[in-house]
């Protein structure tokens, strides 16, 4: 009966030219997650890694902290676990009258991350509601179908602990599938998932069961300074 650990990547590089790489904090978060798994004796029997750089970097840091490499554990890259195209969502949103200027103005304020997040939430809502599908190469429905396909593939024919390194949007879609969440609730959940947190899915004879969501107690206490959501 496999246990799937759906691991969100460490913090990406918001301020860098290439977002798809871990920040210094993201590297530390990913290594600390591996240390926390090691302390509890949670060792993967197989690894599935999304195809994005931040997924692989998170996996490498976590596995190194467990003193494991891709030579020690079966390792598979699966693009079904890739995140949605956040830049495509922003591009479609900022093509609307006045939105680009408003985004630039808000990001020029005291808290550029918060300014960006306000507009990104609106961009995502526009994508999720399905009224403008022609503006997106991958619609919300197709994204959900892709992740659900990855979930079934990850659970099929595997044993032991399966570490799946992915992104918050994909993990939220798994929760949507297993808990029957609305699209709006799914989008809201994605904002709450911590970097280098994990959600646990148990695969049994009765199907898939979501055992936990957004576990990040490894960032409690003295390690709270490592906690981030963006």
pLDDT tens profile 71-118: 889 999 999 999 999 889 999 999 999 988 888 888 887 787 788 888
Confidence bin at 174 (pLDDT 50/70/90): very high
Structure tokens at 146: 């892709």
Q: Is 128 exposed, middle or buried (0-12, 13-18, 19+ CB in 10 A)?
A: buried
Residues 102 and 66 in one domain: no
**DSSP state string for the chain:** --EEEEEEPPPB-TTSS--SSB-HHHHHHHHHHHHHHHHHT---SEEEE-SSHHHHHHHHHHHHHTT--TTTS-EEE-GGGPPP-HHHHHHHHHTSTTHHHHHHHHHTSS-HHHHHHHHHHHHHHHHHT-TTGGG-SS-HHHHHHHHHHHHHHHHTT--SEEEEEE-HHHHHHHHHHHHT--HHHHHHHHHHPPTT-EEEEEEETTEEEEEEEEE-GGGSGGGGGG----
Identify whether residues 190 and 201 lie together within a single domain: yes
Same domain, yes or no, for 66 and 93? Answer: no
* Confidence at residue 220, expressed as pLDDT on a 0 to 100 scale: 94
- pLDDT value, residue 136: 95
**Domain check: are 78 and 191 in the same one?**
yes
Residues 150 and 68 both lie in one domain: yes
Instruction: Tell which residue, 1, 3, 2, 7, has the closest CA to residue 213.
Output: 7
The pLDDT score that the predictor gives to residue 159 is 85
Domain boundaries, position 96: 85-137
Count structural domains, the chain: 2
Average pLDDT of span 48-59: 96
Residue 173 shares a structural domain with residue 72: yes
For residues 219 and 197, what is the distance between their CA atoms, to the nearest angstrom? Answer: 9
Domain of residue 163, CATH code: 3.40.50.1240
What is the predicted pLDDT for the residue at 27?
96
Tell me, rounded to whole angstroms, the distance of Cα 193 from its chain centroid: 8
| Residues 112 and 179 both lie in one domain | no
Q: CA-to-CA distance for 178 and 185, rounded, in angstroms? A: 13
The answer to whether 13 and 172 have CB atoms below 8 angstroms apart is no
Q: Indicate if 44 and 90 belong to the same structural domain.
A: no
**pLDDT tens digit sequence for 3-46:** 999 999 999 986 656 778 999 999 999 999 999 999 999 999 99
User: Is residue 52 pLDDT above 90, yes or no?
Assistant: yes
Tell me: do 10 and 109 sit in the same domain.
no
- Kindly report, residue by residue over 149-160, the tens digit of the pLDDT: 999 999 987 789
Question: What whole-number percentage of the chain has pLDDT above 70?
Answer: 98
- Structure confidence at residue 15 (pLDDT): 67
Q: Which of 137, 154, 169 is the last residue of a domain?
A: 137
Give the per-residue pLDDT at 16. 59
- Which backbone phi and psi does 149 adopt, to 5 degrees? -65, -40
pLDDT averaged over every residue in the chain: 92
């Amino acid at each position: 009966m496999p246990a799937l650990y759906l691991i969100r990547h460490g913090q990406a590089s918001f301020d860098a030219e290439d977002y798809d790489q871990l920040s210094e904090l993201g590297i530390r978060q990913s290594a600390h997650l591996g240390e926390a798994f090691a302390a509890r004796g949670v060792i993967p029997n197989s690894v599935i890694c999304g195809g994005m750089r931040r997924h692989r970097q998170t996996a490498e840091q976590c596995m190194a902290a467990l003193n494991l490499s891709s030579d020690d554990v079966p390792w598979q890259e699966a693009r079904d676990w890739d995140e949605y195209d956040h830049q495509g969502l922003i591009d479609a949103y900022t093509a609307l009258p006045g939105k680009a200027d408003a985004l630039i103005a808000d990001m020029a304020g005291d808290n550029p991350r918060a300014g960006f997040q306000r507009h990104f939430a609106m961009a995502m809502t526009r994508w999720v509601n399905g009224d403008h599908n022609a503006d997106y190469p991958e619609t919300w429905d197709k994204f959900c179908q892709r992740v659900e396909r990855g979930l079934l593939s990850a659970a099929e024919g595997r044993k032991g602990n399966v570490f799946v390194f992915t992104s918050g949007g994909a993990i939220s879609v798994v929760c949507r599938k297993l808990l029957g969440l609305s699209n709006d609730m799914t989008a809201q959940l994605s904002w709450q998932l911590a970097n280098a947190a994990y959600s646990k899915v148990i695969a049994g004879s009765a199907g898939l069961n979501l055992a936990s969501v957004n576990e990040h107690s490894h960032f409690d206490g003295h390690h709270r300074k490592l906690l981030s959501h963006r």
